[in-house]
């Protein structure tokens, strides 16, 4: 079926259900960022493969809302379809509910509810999101109906829900037993006077039960639901996923196992007070709770507990960073070798080849499992596409000149890595490229070396990474930093660093990225990214004694491309920061390299 065929079929079902519009979000029943291909409904319907996008289909229009990270990608992938791109980060772009009200054309008139009805699949909407949408539409007299129209259409070629067995994540990596975690979370439930809690976020379930899986690419999670009670814990999962070893482990930990779809029946049996995170738990689960249940909507205590890494987890991440640095050293040494450069001159190296080669070197690392996200190898203008995804067929040829942005990461049993380096491959470097690179580097360094008093939020320090480019009239549309899981999701909450208001404060044990960037369409993309962990400032260094001060420990270990630096823009302090960092990189990584690799790294880390 073509995109138009699918839209025509969808409109046929919409007419049968009395719908004027239907909304399809890029999510799954677990509010996942990355999802199993079984739930990639926006991609199936529109051909857009980006991670964030929402399709809206009316009886005569089809539109896709996505943010600035995906404008270029969406423009390419929607070309030739009848789906129009809505650039949601643009000031003049209406929100979906606003656009629907405009389409209704009779906002505020009671009779609209009889003629204009919007449909959604409640499993694909968080309880919070569903409630908000319903209220916004009702204000305009528009009704909202729960109905799944994609399932009856996507019958051919739809992937099944993965059935690979889950596996135990050993305590030597997790640093805490399941029983200890259960006790901590139950105490948090008691604070809310909750008798039970519904959990649907896959990384939260994996963390709580010390289990991992192979269900979602780049994310070692298990597709499941969980209901935690004060005296019982039930995991809802496909039976095929629990082999003899997993069954024995779960039984030992006192975890009851029921079939995946049985969660709805279980929720209907609950009594008393039930805690749920409305930002994660889907509307269908919410509706399944019994009428007599007192429903308490609040942030999941697992989300918060998981974000604070224990000493075992932090030590593991440090080991993973060393392994990652070895892989990157080998990769960039290969990229600069005479053999590779000759192939590049001959046009025999593509972005896809770079991705394969980096994967090859990561595979050599101890405890490496898979990438933590799809590697972004953006050559020249492709680097300006923030979440660019080269394919074997579409990958650009890479020549030994101009700019390359490489954003990649690994899932190791020890922890999760995420690093971006932008390098110059050869030829004369434009002054603008040097200025852009240096503005990004200065912001990256400033953010990575600050200290702040307890109670500070990520949005309060976001501008530090942008201050130099702002003065030059430049900015970027993505967040400056995201939380990172421990052998879990590369993007994790609740903490982040971005302009949006987030009440979560930065606290010891949290891991964030530090990744400002500049993007020039058709020319290059420049981003520099390290992972950093929140740590207390040594009390002897505190400016005041009455406050607790925090700062960052830089976890990532790989040099910057000093060829791209405009040294006239650097302060003496910034030069020292770079030199100190490179010295630490060489100290930690060189013992893991052979003589030739050590010499290469030594040259890259030499004092500036």
Is residue 106 pLDDT above 80, yes or no? Answer: no
Phi, psi of 83 (to 5 degrees): -90, 125
Mean pLDDT of 424-447: 98
Q: 311-596: what fold?
A: Creatine Amidinohydrolase (3.90.230)
Give 588 or 292, the one with higher predicted confidence. 588
Is residue 148 pLDDT above 60, yes or no? Answer: yes
Of 158-167, 467-476, 546-555, the least confident: 546-555
Output the pTM of the full model: 0.92
Q: Which helix (H) or strand (E) holds 514?
A: strand 511-514
Mean pLDDT of 138-167: 95
Of 149-158, 190-199, 384-393, 591-600, the least confident: 384-393
Domain 3-146 has CATH 3.40.630.10: no
Each domain of the chain, given as residue ranges in start order, spans: 3-146, 167-298, 311-596
* Rounded Cα–Cα distance for residues 314 and 171 (Å): 14
3-state secondary structure 251-296: HHCCCEEECHHHHHHHHHHCCCEEEECCCCCEHHHHHHCCCCCEEE
pLDDT classification of 516: cutoffs 50, 70, 90: very high
19-57 confidence digits (pLDDT tens): 999 999 999 999 998 899 999 999 999 999 888 899 999
Is residue 112 pLDDT above 80, yes or no? Answer: no
Mean pLDDT of 213-237: 97
Is residue 110 pLDDT above 50, yes or no? Answer: no
* Rounded Cα–Cα distance for residues 96 and 464 (Å): 32
Mean pLDDT of 429-455: 97
Mean pLDDT of the chain: 95
Is residue 539 pLDDT above 80, yes or no? Answer: no
Q: What is the pLDDT of residue 513?
A: 98
pLDDT classification of 115: cutoffs 50, 70, 90: confident
Mean pLDDT of 270-276: 97
Matching residue, tokens 């709770």: 289
* Rounded Cα–Cα distance for residues 206 and 175 (Å): 14
Q: What is the pLDDT of residue 545?
A: 57
Contact 150, 41 (CB under 8 A): yes
Is residue 243 pLDDT above 90, yes or no? Answer: yes
Helix axes 572-589, 595-604, angle to 10 degrees: 170
321-336 confidence digits (pLDDT tens): 999 999 999 999 999 9
Residue 301 DSSP class: H
The C-alpha angle with vertex 30 and arms to 25 and 34, in degrees rounded to 5, equals 70
Bridge partners (DSSP) listed for residue 119? 22, 145
Q: Which CATH superfamily is domain 167-298 in?
A: Creatinase/prolidase N-terminal domain (3.40.350.10)
Closest CA to 534 of 497, 583, 574: 497
pLDDT classification of 108: cutoffs 50, 70, 90: very low
* Rounded Cα–Cα distance for residues 560 and 422 (Å): 8
Q: What is the pLDDT of residue 543?
A: 57
Of 2-16, 106-120, 245-259, 426-440, the least confident: 106-120
What is the percentage of the chain residues whose pLDDT exceeds 70?
A: 97
* Rounded Cα–Cα distance for residues 185 and 207 (Å): 12
Asked if 3-146 and 167-298 have one fold, the answer is yes
Q: What is the pLDDT of residue 107?
A: 41
Of 90-104, 362-376, 512-526, the least confident: 90-104
Mean pLDDT of 232-249: 97
């Amino acid at each position: 079926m073509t995109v138009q065929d699918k839209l025509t079929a969808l409109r046929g079902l919409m007419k049968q259900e009395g719908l004027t519009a239907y909304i399809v979000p890029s999510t799954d029943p677990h509010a996942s960022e990355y999802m199993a291909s079984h739930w990639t409904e926006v991609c199936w319907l529109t051909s857009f493969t980006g991670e964030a996008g929402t399709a809206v289909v009316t009886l005569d229009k089809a539109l896709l809302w996505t943010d600035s990270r995906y404008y270029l990608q969406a423009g390419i992938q929607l070309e030739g379809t009848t789906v129009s791109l809505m650039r949601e980060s643009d000031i003049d772009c209406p929100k979906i509910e606003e656009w629907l009200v405009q389409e209704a054309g009779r906002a505020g008139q009671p009779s609209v509810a009889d003629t204009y009805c919007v449909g959604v699949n409640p499993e694909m909407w968080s309880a919070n999101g569903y409630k908000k949408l319903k209220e916004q539409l009702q204000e305009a007299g528009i009704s909202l109906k729960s109905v799944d129209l994609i399932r009856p259409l996507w019958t051919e070629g739809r992937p099944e829900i993965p059935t690979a067995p889950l596996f135990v994540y050993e305590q030597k990596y997790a640093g805490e037993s399941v029983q200890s975690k259960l006790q901590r979370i139950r105490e948090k439930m008691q604070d809310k006077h909750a008798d039970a809690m519904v959990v649907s976020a896959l990384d939260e379930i994996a963390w709580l039960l010390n289990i991992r899986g192979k269900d979602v690419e780049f994310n070692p999670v298990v597709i499941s639901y969980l209901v935690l009670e004060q005296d019982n814990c039930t995991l809802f999962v496909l039976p095929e996923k629990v082999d003899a070893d997993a069954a024995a482990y779960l039984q030992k930990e006192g975890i009851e196992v029921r079939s995946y779809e049985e969660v709805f029946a279980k929720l209907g049996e609950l009594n008393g007070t039930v805690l749920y995170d409305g930002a994660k738990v889907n509307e269908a689960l919410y509706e399944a709770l019994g009428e007599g249940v007192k429903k308490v909507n609040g942030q999941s205590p697992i989300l918060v507990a998981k974000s604070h890494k224990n000493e075992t987890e932090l030590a593991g991440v440090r080991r993973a960073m060393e392994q990652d640095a070895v892989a990157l050293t080998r990769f960039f040494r290969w990229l600069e070798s005479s053999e590779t450069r000759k192939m590049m001159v001959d046009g025999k190296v593509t972005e896809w080849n770079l991705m394969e080669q980096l994967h090859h070197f990561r595979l050599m690392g101890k405890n490496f499992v898979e990438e933590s996200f799809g590697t972004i190898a953006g050559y020249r203008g492709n680097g300006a596409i923030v979440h660019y995804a080269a394919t074997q067929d579409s990958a650009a040829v890479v020549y030994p000149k101009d700019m390359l942005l490489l954003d990649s990461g690994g899932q190791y049993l020890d922890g999760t890595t995420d690093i971006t380096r932008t390098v110059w491959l050869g030829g004369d470097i434009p002054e603008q490229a040097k200025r852009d690179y240096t503005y990004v580097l200065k912001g990256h360094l400033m953010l990575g070396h600050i200290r702040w008093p307890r109670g500070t939020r990520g949005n309060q320090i976001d501008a530090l990474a942008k201050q130099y480019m702002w003065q030059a009239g430049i900015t970027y549309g993505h967040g400056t930093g995201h939380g990172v899981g421990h052998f879990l999701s590369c993007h994790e909450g609740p903490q982040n660093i971005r302009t949006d208001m987030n009440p979560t404060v930065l606290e010891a044990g949290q891991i964030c990225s530090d990744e400002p960037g500049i993007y020039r369409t058709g020319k290059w993309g420049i981003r520099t990214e390290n992972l950093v962990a929140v740590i207390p400032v040594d009390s002897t260094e505190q400016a005041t004694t009455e406050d607790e001060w925090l700062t960052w420990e830089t976890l990532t270990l790989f040099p910057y491309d000093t060829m791209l630096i405009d040294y006239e823009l650097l302060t003496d302090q910034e030069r020292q920061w770079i030199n100190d960092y490179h010295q630490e990189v060489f100290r930690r990584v060189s013992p893991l390299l052979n003589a030739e690799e050590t010499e290469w790294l030594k040259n890259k880390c030499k004092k500036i």
